Every structure is written in structure tokens, then in C-alpha cells.
Structure 1
């Protein structure tokens, strides 16, 4: 293949994959299977690695994330991102309408839109390319989060052909779908991580993560709804027309909008969505009403804080009263004991509510909950029902307060509560049934060992029948086929499929195995960082708490949890057994294509956060130029590539051994010095 053919192939693949992304994430139309898409994406990645001079900086391969910045740059908005005034009643909305009519008369239209409960964002495009993404901030300036925004598939990095201005800003709202919120919150709970109260908090927290690779793993979406550019009125006379155009340019615009001539039509739109919002896949908390005509918007102008030509009608949070019957306590796989309120069933926001989360002992004490209390339950911006208070006037006489238990409701072990944490834990991880079953269910999960033919119910059944006692027993099931055949609804074909899935799981890489072990506080990202740093389970097991803490993004609590797990003799024996069964407990060295040998014979260690490169990118640069990466500081180390927030223990050891410390620019200079 000639150089011209290669360049054309890269351009064609880039355009094709961007088209598929647009069809799928904006138009919800899948033109290609996930498998075929991934094959094409891998082909493009390989070509770009081999011929970086032809790679498009806005290639779809760049959407997977990977950039880590030490902090977000702050930038002033060219057009301030003002908030809208709020109204909660038809009377207030009528007053707003009268003020409009006094200034511009009676000949105008409104555009009604859903008010998304998300994070406001401003996107700047130049010549059809996404150049910058800035959060609302304080309205006059916000954080530049461009790398993170590029991971959101419904936001185009390059626009299709169109009649758009050479430079413009478009405003929108980033949000998380309800189903994704519930799934990700469940994963955080299983990893003993703090859960988020609602999708908006989750979306906002995600956008502020420094690692865009982690942002890419959290499915965010975005609706765009307002355009700014020079001489905008020469392009469009009104807001409705601009929405139609930006949709044709490739932007994700919500279809639930309405143009209204009368205030009565606005009220009808509000009433409809006050009910129907519960059937949407995302959260809204009201309706935005805007004067349609741009010239009339300019006539109306602004107050110090809000535009006079727009207002938001906020829905009232739905609240009901019901009886608190009992509080039950659920034990998760990490031993966390979560209280759950069992309620007299009541209709709330279109669904029957029977249970509400109480989070922890502090919440029970704060609410001062008593047996048989009449409680206020609310959803509002919360997907999960929440008790927000007690109707003390209806409290029964001589009723007793709920007291958080001292012992595990499942195995009777005395609960512990670590300093600085709100959650109580059962420490009996090897003898508490829900923890044992939960760890095995976690181990076989899709993001972990992904064992086909084996589900949560299967694990629970096998545990009750005495076939499984811990994760190691999963790999010994092949020796118990006779016992498996005796089980109801478990035929030979199902047995064969399950055993094949167990065998195939042995191909999973080290970071997946590490994640699957279910170490408290160790999620998928943390497991990957530990695997990349220590290379194998033995090096990790031999590392001190301080050395583990020295790994980027690993805090003291995580380091102590990892150390405690690997120092446990029961876990040590399990790891030996898993190794004997053939599981991968070290990373496989990938083939390195050398760009030069300018770093040949030199060893490096990377620590800290860097402004322009992620640690993974720096490691690839080193290895592709002949250098070798080490996992710890020793006399064999030639250079410590030091960024911001480097661990103090590494710094002290490097200084003691007299190891040269260089920054990312020094490294680039070394690479290009010959």
C-alpha cells in the first residue's frame, strides 16, 4: 500500500466511524454492529500508531479518553452564562408574560423546552471543529474541560458539511440517563465507594474528573439548545429556526419543544410534562420559556443576573406521607451494612414506593426515626425515594426510637466503623453468607471475569448446595459434574456452557483478575493502575502501604485496604490456588514498535501528574524510543520523571539515592537529542 493510499485509508476510516457515531448517539440509529465498529476502530488505531503524521487530532480514536491534567484552566465566557429566573406558579408566569407585553407589545411567540437537570456547558466551534468546552462556573468564567467533553459520544468533534458560521458557541446541558445512574451507583456501592444522590451530581462529578479515561467509562449525554455567534440575526431571525439548523449540523437537540402563541398553550405544555416527565429516561425539573424572536430578545435585554426574555417554571418536588413500618439491614459483598426503610406502599411520581434508602446510622439519628412514624417521602431530583422528615404531630405515644444494631444481622459479628467513615461494616468476610455470595457474584460479573453461563442465582444456588464456598471453588466445579447433574433446571448443555465459560475466563488479563478479587475500595480503574505499576501480584503483595500509596490516584485508605487484603493468610492461599488453576496474575508485556533507540539502555519511573501527557502516554514514549520502565525506585533507576503531586516517599528515596529527576520537557529533549 502506497503512502497516499495509507493517508486516504485513515481519512476514510475516520469519516466512516464519525458517521456511525453520529447515527448511533444522536439519531439513535445503529448502522453497524458493535463488533464491526470495534474492528474498524482497532484498524484505525493501528494505522495511526504506525503513521502518526496522517492522524486527525479529532479522530474517533481520541474519544476513549486518557488525558490527565493537573488542574483545569479557567476561562472567561465571551457571552456570560446567566442563570434563569425561576417561577413555581401560574400566577408568577402570568406576571412574567405581562412584563413582556408592556415592553414589546402583544405580537410575539414563546418557545417552550424541557429544563434538564444537568450541568451547563458552552462549546466553541471553529471551522466545524470543537475547539473548547467550558463549564458555567460563576456565569462569567468557567473551567475548560475540553478533553472530558470529547468523550461524550453525542457531542460532535467535527461537524458535517453545513451552513454554520466559521466560529460560534453553542450552549447545552450534560446529563446522565436514569438507568446509567442506577447501574453506576450500584457499582460504587459494591466497591464501598460513596454513592451519588442523583444523576446531576454524578454527571457534574464526572465532568470534573482529571482522568478523561475514567470520564469515558461513565455514559454521559448532552442536549444542545442555544446558539451564540457574531451577527446571529443575519443567519436566523428567531430561536426556533436556529434549533432546526443546529440539528441539521449534527447536534443533539431535544425533540420535546413547542412553539406557543398564547400563554394558555404554555400552561398546557407545562401540565403535560409535569406528569409525563416520569416516563422520560432522564431527569427534568421544569420547563424553560423563551421569547422566540432574537430582535425582541435584544429589546427585552437583561437584569444583572437573568435575561428578561426567558424564565424557568420549576416543578414542585413530589412529596407524600406514609407509615414507616420497619427498618431492615442489608449486608453487601464488602461487608457494608445499609439500612433500608420499609414503608406502607404509597403512590409517588407515578410509581408505588415500598422502600427508601436510609444510607447509614447518621441518617437514622438525624431523622430521629421511631417505630410507626408517619414520614415524608420525596423524589424530586432523586431517583431513589428518600425520607426527608417526620410528621411529629402524628407520632404515636410511647413509641420507641430505631437504634442502629451493634452486630451483623446475618452472622452476628460485632460491627466496626472506621474513623472518618459513615458506614458500619461486618468484618467477618470469610464467614458471613451475604459477603461470601456477593464476592463470588462480583467475581463472575461482566466487567470482572465475565463467566458466561453463570449468573447470580446460579452462584447462590451452588453456595446453598455446598458446591461453592469461595471464588477458588468456581474453578473446581469441573470435578463435580455428577453433583451438578442432580440440580433442578440445570441440564448437561447448561453445565457444558458454564464450564466452557469458566475455562475461557482464565484468559482475562491481570488487572481484571485483581478487580475481580473484590478488594474493598478497589474498583476497575484502581485495579488497572495497580496492575500497570506493580506488573504482578507478588510485587504488589510485597509492597508496603507507603509504596502502594505512592501510585497515582491511590490514597491512604485504598492502600491500607489492599495491604490488609493481601496480608490475610486466607487470601494468600486463594491467590496460590488461582495461580495453580492458570489465572493470569501478572501483566503480559506488549510488543513495542520502536520509533528510535535514543533511550536505549536507560531506565525510567514516572510519578505525579503532568500538564500535557498522561502517565500512560509518557510510558509509551519511553518504551517506543528504547527505554525501559521500572516499577519502583532503586539504584538501577536512571531517571525519575517527576510531575506535580508526586508521592513524598518516592521523592525522599530518589533524593537519597541521588537519582536524577526530570520533567516531561526534559524527557522530550532526551528523546530528540540525537
Structure 2
């Protein structure tokens, strides 16, 4: 017992000392001891915990990587939604936002806090009884992935907070990969013959989503905390700035470049300063975030369309460089679209070597007057997707002919053919895109496989671009339905794939048979059917069989489903190849039928659009009321819009509605329509 008590006392002493040095090194960047001295303390603690296992606790510094690999991430429901930020791309747009805030808070003193917009992954960290308990990604804002074990490996995230911290609270921040760590990782991957990471953000996101925490621990992730999410049974600070100082006091790492600003002049000065210095930062930042400092003002302003009214991201212009356009290639998308792309002389743009860039379509190429051999300006749109801004005309030595997809793909017979399957291409009247009409085109099938197995669709982990291509080449699959005929022994016999990997893929395929119906509809890859339209179709038809048998008249009657969408659904199910695939899917999928909406409700499936600020509720709350009452909502006016709900400071939608003869109603009129008074009874709002 004496030995245990002595060990316990020493363990507690060592933990306090190691936690202190962790804070000095990882948070303050001011180490007080050498790496050798730190390692000696950690080894002594590990030795004592090995000798006395009862002394091991989850918050011990030795438990940064102490968990078994996960089979899958769980889901964490955020106590308060993690909202996305609206964007401003020009100083005029930023000033417009400040003016809107000023107008919504008339006569009130305003102060702002400016921060760098980190290029990483947003996380929410919950602490209970002084210890880190749960960490989650943003996800869809309402629910995120439980990545607690991986977050525990990041040394700048404390496993235990200072004694004066509250019993239960949440902080929010950004996990990122410093530029130095990104470069080091890519050098190591290059030596090992592994594919390089595209950019620090993707590398950070991939590192945090590893099922094995020990893999995450090997990657030099860091974290800045930027918000106090909530505090249980305790007052919140009056200002955002005070909240930041409070969480810093509890032991969290903040960006030292945060600054309070009194007005638009100081905000713009902050922006200009860091735009000029952005390339010298030790991390990637694609703009600044401007927030109202007063917590009370934040609460009163609330949010609209899942974006807070009290904050905005003011983005830096995209990184740019010039290089030579060597060729224009044509790829084939999963719906048969012929997509031109630029083949470039490799150029370094914003931390990434760019060899190819999107050109979108032939009209875009001609509008920008891009020609083969040109010196072109390349930028990373949103600092992620490479695209061509345009040519540097003064460097054009001659004038090559304008680019034409038909000329590029013209064969000996004088007709243009698909570069993959050789089918004659077609160009629908009134459309920008050219198409390969062959549903059995290998390029379309490969793209369809990648889409079908993706997370928003059937979520079949382990099958990506390379395996999709390999399965087609090896004849293992010819369409998405063939995935359900694969056997473990077929995959295990492939070079580079063992039995364990094969079992994981077969297990994921089996699990996908019970995917929710909206995911199944989205997985089919029908043109114009994204996740939102897929959910709309599920409510109307309730099963894959019912959708496959839907008539044009039935589809036309659905509010929010336009003519182009109807055309693409009809064309998809009339295609003989697709018909056979759907028939096979119907025999293997176990997705339960969804009860369709039988009652239209008081709003009778009519489409509503909202403009301006409502008095009694946020726009999100109004949308929810409309949908609950049987109506549908759209962010902008369409040919199906029945009513425009007009609030204060109505925008351009009001003029558009008047021009189209769409009826405008007030917030009060909307509420009366949603909750009409019973005969002889007063109206209830």
C-alpha cells in the first residue's frame, strides 16, 4: 500500500509538470525544458503507470494515443448548431454587411472582433468535470462525427483544463495542419511512393478522420480555439473578446493575431495588413472573420439560412500565377457530359503544384478567348479548385483557331466521337454541354461507380477512384448493380489486397443495402437530382419502384421539380441499361418503403419564397412552419413560386415577383394561412 501511495503522489506530480510543459510548448510556443528532459518525465510516468495500472486515467498525458482503432465514427448531436458563415468578396459587400447590422441595431454602439479564417476543419470540444470528454466535427451543423480519440492526440488540445474552469462547457475551434508540417508530410510520402496531399486543409481533414488514432498522432496537427459554445449553469461573458480571454485562461490555444476593431475603417486595416502578410503565415488562411463583439447583440440578431447575421467571412482574392496552356483535354462525366480541362506546364500556386485546371465548357473557353499555347492566369478558386482566369494576351505570339469540342474529337468520318468509347457525341439544342449518349461508356460507368459508393450516396467505404477503374478493367463489375455480386475471394485474390481489406469492402457493400431511401435516389446519379431533390422525391413516391414507374404527369405535379429535372428523370428510367440496373437493385436493396405525404396541409404543396427580415421568427423558423403546413420552400423565385413572403428591407426578389405577377404576402398573412381560424373562433397565431 505504501508503494502505491508513493507512486500515486509521484504520478500526480509528474502529470502536473508534463501538463505545464505541454501548455508552454504547444500553446504558448515558449518551451522551458529540452526535448530530452521532457521525454525523461514522460518515460518515468509511463513506467509508473505500467507498474500500477490502477493509476491510469483518460486525462493522463500518456493516453494521447491510447485507444484501439475504431470500426466507424459515431454521431454527436450538437447542443447548439455549428453555423456556416456568409461570405463577402469585396469591400463593398463587407460595408453592406456592416450597414445591415447597424440598421438592425439602431442607435447601439458596435464593436467587432477580427480573426483569421483558418483553412482547416471546424470542431466542437466538450469538457466535463475538468476533462476532455467528447470532440466532434461540424458535420451538417446539427450533427457531426465523433472524433474524440483522434482529437486527444493533438497536443495543443488540453485533456484537462485549469481548476477555475466550469464543470461542463463546450469550446469551438479549427484543427489545421501548419505549412511546415504539410511540407514535411509530403516529402515523407514522396519518399515512400505514396500520393501527395493536395493541400493542408485536405490533409488535416483526412488526418482527423482516421479510424486508427495512432495514424492521426503521427501527423503534426494543431488547433486554435475561437469560440465559447456554451456553459452549463453559469453566466456567459458579455463579449466575445472576454470569452476568448476566459478560454485562454482555462488553457486553450488562441490565434495571437485576433484583434478588436471599433469600426469599418479598422476592419479594413486589419484585412489589408493580413492580406499583405498571408504568404508569410505559418498556416493557410483564406480570409478574415468579422464578428460582433457583444454576445447580447449576437443573440438578438440570430441567424438566417443557417448563417449568423452577426458574423461574416471576408475572403482574400484567390492565389494566382501564370503558366503555359499545353493542351485541352476532354473527360467524360457520369451523366455523359464532355468536360474540357486545361493541361498546364506545372506551376506552384498557393502551396500546391497545379498541372491541370477546369475549363467548364466550350462556351466558357470561347468567352474568355483561351487558345492553345497561350500564357494563362491560373487561380485556385476558393483557394482549392484550380481554374483558368484567362489568357495574357500581350504574350500571345500568334492567334490559333478558337477551340471547338467537335473539331477536337472529329474522326476520319468527319463526325465527333466520345474520346473513351467512340460513340458519336451530341449537342442538345439550347444546352451548353456536349454529351456521350452511350450509357455503357466505361468512363460514365467509372464515374457512376465513384458517385454510387460515395458517402452521401451508398457510403461503401474502401472503393474510390482507383478501385472503381480496376474493377472495370478486370471485368469484376460492368455497372453499379454488379457490386452486390462481388465475393470476398474475388477481391482477396487481387494483388495488393488482402483478406482483411476484402472483408471490409464486402461488409460495407452489405451494409449499404439498408441505406435510407433519399441516399438511394441520390446514388442513382440522375442529372439534376442532388440530395435536396432526392428527399423531395422520396416524400412523393416512397420507394424506388414507385419512382421508376412515375409518369411525367406525376412528376410535373411536384412543387419544386422543374421541367429539366422531369426530363432527366424520365430519360433515366427510359434508358434500357438503367432499367436493368434498377431492376437488379430492387432485388438486393432492403431499404424500407417510406410513407408518402397523403395530406397537403393548409398550404396545399404550394411554393413559397421569403425576402427581407421577419419580425416574429427567423427565416429558418418560417421555412420549417411552411413545410410542416404542407408547403415547399425555395431560396429564390422559380416558375412554380406561388407566394413571396415579404419582411422588412426586402431585396430584389420583390421586384422579380412583381414582374412575374407573383402574389406578395406579409408575415401576418402567412401565419394566418398556416393556422386559419376555425369558423366562429378567433384566429390563433
Length-normalised TM-score, structure 2: 0.52
Report matched runs for 1:433-582 at 5 Å: 549-550=497-498
Partner of 1:297: 298
Partner of 2:355: 358
Kept in 1, the 8 Å contact 2:321–2:377? The answer is yes
**CA-to-aligned-CA distance 1:165-210 (integer Å, 9 cap, x gap):** 2111100001001111122123223333232221001100111110
Worse-superposed segment, 546-555 or 229-238: 546-555
1:341 aligns with 2:338: no
Kept in 1, the 8 Å contact 2:377–2:392? The answer is no
Aligned equivalents of 2:88, 2:244: Cα separation in 1 = 24
Aligned equivalents of 1:196, 1:302: Cα separation in 2 = 35
What secondary structure, in the 3-state scheme, does the structure 2 residue paired with 1:83 have? coil
Aligned equivalents of 1:132, 1:256: Cα separation in 2 = 28
Candidates 133, 142, 145, aligned match of 1:143: 145
Kept in 1, the 8 Å contact 2:380–2:387? The answer is no
What secondary structure, in the 3-state scheme, does the structure 1 residue paired with 2:307 have? coil
Q: Return closer, same or farther for 1:53/1:556 CA change in 2, 3 Å cut-off.
A: closer
Partner of 1:46: 47
Query: What is the root-mean-square deviation in Å for CA atoms of aligned residues?
Result: 4.0
**CA-to-aligned-CA distance 1:192-241 (integer Å, 9 cap, x gap):** 32322210011001111100000000000000010022478834111111
Partner of 2:237: 236
Q: Return closer, same or farther for 1:187/1:395 CA change in 2, 3 Å cut-off.
A: farther
Q: Return closer, same or farther for 1:188/1:100 CA change in 2, 3 Å cut-off.
A: same
Moved over 3 A (4+): 230-233, 320-326, 367-372, 379-383, 385-390, 392-399, 544-557
Q: Return closer, same or farther for 1:232/1:116 CA change in 2, 3 Å cut-off.
A: farther
What secondary structure, in the 3-state scheme, does the structure 2 residue paired with 1:224 have? strand
Kept in 1, the 8 Å contact 2:170–2:231? The answer is no
Aligned equivalents of 1:12, 1:29: Cα separation in 2 = 21
Candidates 144, 150, 162, aligned match of 1:160: 162
What secondary structure, in the 3-state scheme, does the structure 2 residue paired with 1:2 have? helix
Kept in 2, the 8 Å contact 1:65–1:216? The answer is no
Aligned-residue offset at 1:3: 1.7
Aligned-residue offset at 1:117: 0.8
Kept in 2, the 8 Å contact 1:65–1:214? The answer is no
Kept in 1, the 8 Å contact 2:21–2:32? The answer is yes
Report matched runs for 1:20-419 at 5 Å: 20-104=21-105, 105-162=107-164, 164-230=165-231, 234-323=235-324, 341=345, 356-358=353-355, 372-378=373-379, 388=388, 391=391, 394=396, 396-397=398-399
**CA-to-aligned-CA distance 1:62-84 (integer Å, 9 cap, x gap):** 11355211000012110000101
> Which runs of 5 or more structure 1 residues have no equivalent in the other structure?
327-338, 402-418, 421-543, 558-606, 609-674
Q: Return closer, same or farther for 1:303/1:31 CA change in 2, 3 Å cut-off.
A: same
What secondary structure, in the 3-state scheme, does the structure 2 residue paired with 1:84 have? coil
Aligned equivalents of 2:64, 2:501: Cα separation in 1 = 22
Kept in 2, the 8 Å contact 1:198–1:381? The answer is no
Aligned-residue offset at 1:46: 1.9
Size of the aligned set, in residue pairs, is 400
Aligned equivalents of 1:157, 1:4: Cα separation in 2 = 24
Kept in 2, the 8 Å contact 1:165–1:229? The answer is no
Kept in 2, the 8 Å contact 1:175–1:222? The answer is yes
Length-normalised TM-score, structure 1: 0.53
Partner of 2:525: none
Aligned equivalents of 1:324, 1:294: Cα separation in 2 = 51
Kept in 2, the 8 Å contact 1:123–1:134? The answer is yes
> Which runs of 5 or more structure 2 residues have no equivalent in the other structure?
328-342, 404-441, 444-491, 509-685
